[in-house]
Structure 1
């Protein structure tokens, strides 16, 4: 059953919310914080060998010679392969996107004829130890003819050089659409506000790098793969589709995972190579990525230019939005998400944001360059799209003489349901309320007074706003709503034991989101038991419940829906037997706080544990034609595309001497429907916003003109630390969704989606006395100092009178 409406309208009593909404402490934390977790680097298999890769030191070159003889003769080496060896088993991973205008690429497991980016693997070595494998890599005899490197997206789009011979014009994706009379709106506009915004290239930089272990048993032809992937079932499918391992003989195991953020939601050549190597050497093989490899070869993120324009009438209303996004996709499409993950999402998913613009036009393009492929990272595309829309909104507010709150209130969608120019229906949210609540939290008049007083003292503070709409709970319906054909499958299994405790298995893997806690809360309320009596097992193995991946803020919506449906089946069996034992009608039996009681007769009750025991061991307790199986597996997918919303405001102060941005405070408003656990929601907000601060001020994967990555350690690549994390004030708005179990919506990506726009708007607000507007990330100290010293040419809002 796909529709949540059928789930909600079953003939079952209203479920008492005892756990959902409570600040339940995370059940995962004691084990992990006490060092009892088991991450992939902790796993040691008997007889395991170690893997190391030779990676290209140049961005673009033709391989003219490669000889592995010395490598194979080195002490401790069991196997060494070049691209030709790997190509016998797999020509490469096809990357594409199911929209018109996408040109696929094939990423080889090891480079064969050409290397296309610094860090691309060209050979692999299997040895007794990691030291022996890395030492042997140094013995590779190879030569190459260096080719011109394409490192700039505008140059690639103009056809200056060819980054990947599979894409002769460099375009991996091109497309666009127009809705409404955009041309007319711009011709008749009272004024046009426009700008070009750039989001730099960054890394998700998870605490734990990527890792793979493979073990092949030749007698049974079974393959076990340990990977800290976000998509274990998809990885198993790829091992079958590309390498020919029978799916029924493949198990993918996900141990504890120290963060993913989308970088681990891809299938990489390393994950495909290790099973082949394990089969070849008849020993388990293990590869754990070091930080340099992660920054160099793990999927990169963002880097795109967004050109955006608002047509405004005489009152400051947006009459049309015109957007073009150009993404630097790197050398290949990164499967399964492709180069489209940034520019397509930036302009297609929410082309007008929360603004009631009647017309919209967008184009998108992704070009290949000789850089690491770009892939998924928390808030993919949404961040750059929100960044451009919300930063231009602040510029439009200044151009029209409105406050940033007033401009947004003047343009926000007034009521629901609302259909955007694309024809997508939004039927729930708190978009206007978020503006009002955030303005009250900030106390805008008091801020303006303080800002003026500090400016008189030579101090410069700024306030930046960012409002967002997030398509949450990645689903089949959401995919189809936006013109894609992706189908999602997710299940959960709920089993009640004879002692009344519940065991829940979900199909999503965990990377720190607290899924074991929130799913226990969902199950506890449905079953009527204490949350302490529910154990949740996330997708630690593909032999358990099925899931389409921990992506797109799916956990609460999709896994929660599957858990609620499966627990609902078990609940009805408990009620049936309890009614029989209590000599009551089934409809009169409530399950709350571990007891089954009769409505209107609270003293007439029996514990759920006693009912479970009777179902397992006492046939006389069963009603007629009763099925005693206290276990259910159910699938879940939302019936409609779902959208969360919210906002962030940031107060910053700029230091004229150092150019450093000090973050004074963050105000956050979040509407993710029913809040399952405020602690976890607030943790997600804080973590996402701090990542957004990092992407705005500290982080940049920088390349030189030859395509060399200059930031390969944390000495070069800055990440935000606790000393820059500001205090937060968080306000929850709860607009329960009609399209999900318990009314929940997703929110895991919202912090990073909206924070960078708030940062840039705050910096530009502080720079107002200097007549400078910045539009590029990162906001390095050099850029800030130059802006405040007058060394930067003014980039004031481009306001055009037609």
Structure 2
């Protein structure tokens, strides 16, 4: 892998970078790679019992009979509950999005009366082993009357049948906005290009499935919940709000977690049921999801249709954008993000993308179907929005006879700050440079020559480009910028010990993204010590630092900001005492490489360790009125919405005999501000792009007309494997943010946000000799072969007009 690095305008860093920017090896890896991690399945509590759920085998039905008496006396069974048993404790979890046009739903902990998707929990058994619990589940006597299943978003929109009785018109969300004279832009347009794009339903499929352990203490009224959640503090809040446990008595513990990708950034019925079960049986209870349950019952992602149109003037500039997103939200709003997580994010967060379009209009609609609820997955909404904007950009380039690079250069925002039609301000970015750099990386003239030569031999090569901008470091400012009221609040605690080493606690949980390493780098540079002298505790317990959740590319931005603030308090105390010891002014003291020294006088120094020892044990070293604590807790939230940007180009070759897509090369440009650790950034890029390749060409959660999920194992649901992963060339541009510690921006979602558009554009480039353009994901071999044969297999529904739907006019 080749790595290149350039710098944009630099601002004065908050800290003297020594560790930040270095390829520090991940501190987590020796423990995890040697099998010494402790994941939730590894935890066994004394006297624990095991939990299994009865899940609906049908997509939509009315429960007419439920009898658990036959299993309550089974050997090894301690408890069996139905929806009627859990109802007195909790009516369900409300899913509601704070925008006009959202119709809330309540997701029951166990279904009562009506089941609305295959996999919905309807009963639960607690037994001495998982085997006994599952065997008992098979003996539960229940009957149902099957109801019509709604499995298509357009049929749901037409209300041919009702998917969930809580939503009689099937609408979970509907709204929109218009900014500028959009109608005039399209009336005056010299050319209009438009298209409908479909993103298939997928699963985040983390390596580790979901799991919960709960322990209730009768004497203390305490509740301990182990969960591999991405939002431990939010889960703690929900346990108190919905179940009535006293907040001070609830602790959520997050062990090592084998990936989350957004799927674990929800509150699920299982997480609320287990504490109730533990209290009822007076024992710890444990539930570990199997893979079939994960594919059926954990939140799904992405499925939506996006209609988009560009109004173009004679020069090929975009003068207006119209977008409509229709999301298949599944049976309920998945709390807390709801059905808005796809269509709302797709059109509202960046309606024009990187393009300097002066007018924009969008509508978003989410409908209920009898499928598993859709929730968060890496790059929520942004992936579908970027797919539509970037693939239509390629369509426009072809219509105008321009290269994909030239069309984007013609329309890209060039000067910052820039305010988009919504009024959202982008302070900084390298949008034009990203286009230029990625074109140089692929050597476009050489590629065109090679492509032409191979076509003469019956080989079909394609190049796809995708340029993106993403909201970075989810924060209160980002929420307010987009008209929401979400408040984010995160803290970090830094403690410097007597020997000059530091302990750091943050409120964000680790999901395998190297958070402990990057946070240690930030703390080390702020304190002026070596990174090896910093230990980091991520949010393994809600008894420590507070966090709003590991999501929205906020880990490095928010955690490093909180750590820099807390470490800054300690730093100033060390400087004050060092100045007293060296008979200098604190303003003249700098902390570098474990030494406190007078600036410009390297011979006049004292080690940070000696200063720390003096603070703990030598009162004579203190300046007047010195407060000797070397522990500080600080909160952090960015003052402004921030945005990262970049570009991906992917080269593919289509096999005309099998329709299989061979991925030849990936070229990635990333601007996430100051790069804390290039190794970790590049790992995030590679992982995200490969997930994007999976969503583009391999993965699809397929349902039949009755609402049965057909892809319930990895034999049926095709994840990309290493044999299809191409080589990467990665280029770093650094445009430090003025609004974060050390100029850091988030970047964890960029690969999945932008890669599917690059894949679809590459395939369409390879198909150009056949005069066919595909717009639906995934790009299965059947679709590719049909396109090369002159036809197209599509999952896209009938035109919007056919079902009376609003769409770009």
Common fold, TM-score beyond 0.5? yes
Contact 1:503 1:535 in 2 (8 A): yes
Residue of structure 1 equivalent to 2:413: 413
Counterpart mapping for 1:331-730 below 5 A: 331-730=331-730
In structure 2, distance between residues paired with 1:71 and 1:480: 51
Residue 349 and residue 13 in structure 1: after superposition, are their counterparts in 2 closer, same or farther (change >3 A)? closer
In structure 1, distance between residues paired with 2:40 and 2:278: 17
What's the offset of the Cα at 1:15? 2.8
Secondary structure of the structure 1 residue equivalent to 2:470: strand
Secondary structure of the structure 2 residue equivalent to 1:457: coil
Residue of structure 2 equivalent to 1:145: 145
Residue 158 and residue 13 in structure 1: after superposition, are their counterparts in 2 closer, same or farther (change >3 A)? closer
Secondary structure of the structure 1 residue equivalent to 2:467: strand
What's the offset of the Cα at 1:600? 2.0
What's the offset of the Cα at 1:74? 1.1
In structure 1, distance between residues paired with 2:303 and 2:744: 32
Contact 2:215 2:283 in 1 (8 A): yes
Contact 1:325 1:363 in 2 (8 A): yes
Deviations 1:200-245, CA, capped at 9 Å, x for gaps: 0000000000000000000000000000000000000000000000
Residue of structure 2 equivalent to 1:209: 209
Deviations 1:716-751, CA, capped at 9 Å, x for gaps: 000011110000000000000000000000000000
Residue of structure 1 equivalent to 2:770: 770
Residue of structure 2 equivalent to 1:176: 176
What's the offset of the Cα at 1:471? 0.3
In structure 2, distance between residues paired with 1:13 and 1:694: 38
What's the offset of the Cα at 1:619? 0.6
Residue of structure 2 equivalent to 1:159: 159
In structure 2, distance between residues paired with 1:374 and 1:403: 37
Secondary structure of the structure 1 residue equivalent to 2:194: strand
What's the offset of the Cα at 1:528? 0.1
Secondary structure of the structure 1 residue equivalent to 2:505: strand
Counterpart mapping for 1:163-242 below 5 A: 163-242=163-242
In structure 2, distance between residues paired with 1:555 and 1:339: 24
What's the offset of the Cα at 1:160? 1.1
Secondary structure of the structure 1 residue equivalent to 2:378: coil
Are 2:91 and 1:91 aligned? yes
In structure 2, distance between residues paired with 1:155 and 1:262: 28
In structure 1, distance between residues paired with 2:771 and 2:600: 71
What's the offset of the Cα at 1:13? 10
In structure 1, distance between residues paired with 2:761 and 2:618: 67
Moved over 3 A (4+): none
Residue 13 and residue 286 in structure 1: after superposition, are their counterparts in 2 closer, same or farther (change >3 A)? closer
Residue of structure 2 equivalent to 1:323: 323
Contact 2:516 2:537 in 1 (8 A): yes
Deviations 1:352-378, CA, capped at 9 Å, x for gaps: 000000000000000000000000000
In structure 2, distance between residues paired with 1:515 and 1:622: 35
In structure 2, distance between residues paired with 1:603 and 1:516: 34
Contact 1:491 1:545 in 2 (8 A): yes
Contact 2:776 2:794 in 1 (8 A): no
Deviations 1:434-491, CA, capped at 9 Å, x for gaps: 0000100011000000000000000000000001000010000000000000000100
In structure 2, distance between residues paired with 1:306 and 1:74: 52
The number of residue pairs the alignment matches comes to: 790
Secondary structure of the structure 1 residue equivalent to 2:71: helix
In structure 1, distance between residues paired with 2:575 and 2:33: 39
In structure 2, distance between residues paired with 1:78 and 1:85: 14
Deviations 1:120-171, CA, capped at 9 Å, x for gaps: 0000000000000000000010000000000000010111100000100000
Could you tell me which runs of 5 or more consecutive residues in structure 1 were left unpaired when the two chains were aligned. 1-7
In structure 2, distance between residues paired with 1:554 and 1:693: 24
What's the offset of the Cα at 1:73? 1.4
Residue of structure 2 equivalent to 1:51: 51
Contact 1:772 1:794 in 2 (8 A): no
Residue of structure 2 equivalent to 1:4: none
What's the offset of the Cα at 1:16? 1.5
In structure 2, distance between residues paired with 1:756 and 1:272: 36
Counterpart mapping for 1:9-24 below 5 A: 15-24=15-24
Contact 1:39 1:256 in 2 (8 A): yes
Contact 1:772 1:793 in 2 (8 A): no
Secondary structure of the structure 2 residue equivalent to 1:733: strand
Residue of structure 2 equivalent to 1:3: none
Are 2:34 and 1:34 aligned? yes
Residue 363 and residue 246 in structure 1: after superposition, are their counterparts in 2 closer, same or farther (change >3 A)? same
Contact 2:577 2:615 in 1 (8 A): yes
Residue of structure 1 equivalent to 2:313: 313
In structure 2, distance between residues paired with 1:118 and 1:599: 68
In structure 1, distance between residues paired with 2:86 and 2:350: 42
What's the offset of the Cα at 1:790? 1.8
In structure 2, distance between residues paired with 1:732 and 1:569: 32
In structure 2, distance between residues paired with 1:90 and 1:446: 64
Residue of structure 2 equivalent to 1:759: 759
What's the offset of the Cα at 1:556? 1.0
In structure 1, distance between residues paired with 2:792 and 2:31: 52
In structure 1, distance between residues paired with 2:74 and 2:316: 72
In structure 2, distance between residues paired with 1:600 and 1:529: 19
In structure 1, distance between residues paired with 2:767 and 2:791: 13
Deviations 1:676-711, CA, capped at 9 Å, x for gaps: 000000000000000000000000000000000000
Contact 2:15 2:742 in 1 (8 A): no
Could you tell me which runs of 5 or more consecutive residues in structure 2 were left unpaired when the two chains were aligned. 1-9, 800-808
Contact 2:14 2:741 in 1 (8 A): no
What's the offset of the Cα at 1:599? 1.2
In structure 2, distance between residues paired with 1:59 and 1:48: 33
In structure 1, distance between residues paired with 2:13 and 2:69: 72
What's the offset of the Cα at 1:794? 11
In structure 1, distance between residues paired with 2:483 and 2:585: 48
Deviations 1:528-586, CA, capped at 9 Å, x for gaps: 00000000000000000000000000011111100000000000000000000011111
Secondary structure of the structure 1 residue equivalent to 2:578: helix
Residue of structure 1 equivalent to 2:3: none
Secondary structure of the structure 1 residue equivalent to 2:280: helix
What's the offset of the Cα at 1:792? 2.7
Contact 1:13 1:590 in 2 (8 A): no
In structure 2, distance between residues paired with 1:690 and 1:414: 30
In structure 2, distance between residues paired with 1:69 and 1:726: 56
Secondary structure of the structure 1 residue equivalent to 2:66: strand
In structure 2, distance between residues paired with 1:589 and 1:191: 64
Residue of structure 2 equivalent to 1:738: 738
What's the offset of the Cα at 1:601? 1.2
What's the offset of the Cα at 1:414? 1.6
- Greater shift, 598-607 or 347-356, is seen at 598-607
Residue of structure 1 equivalent to 2:71: 71
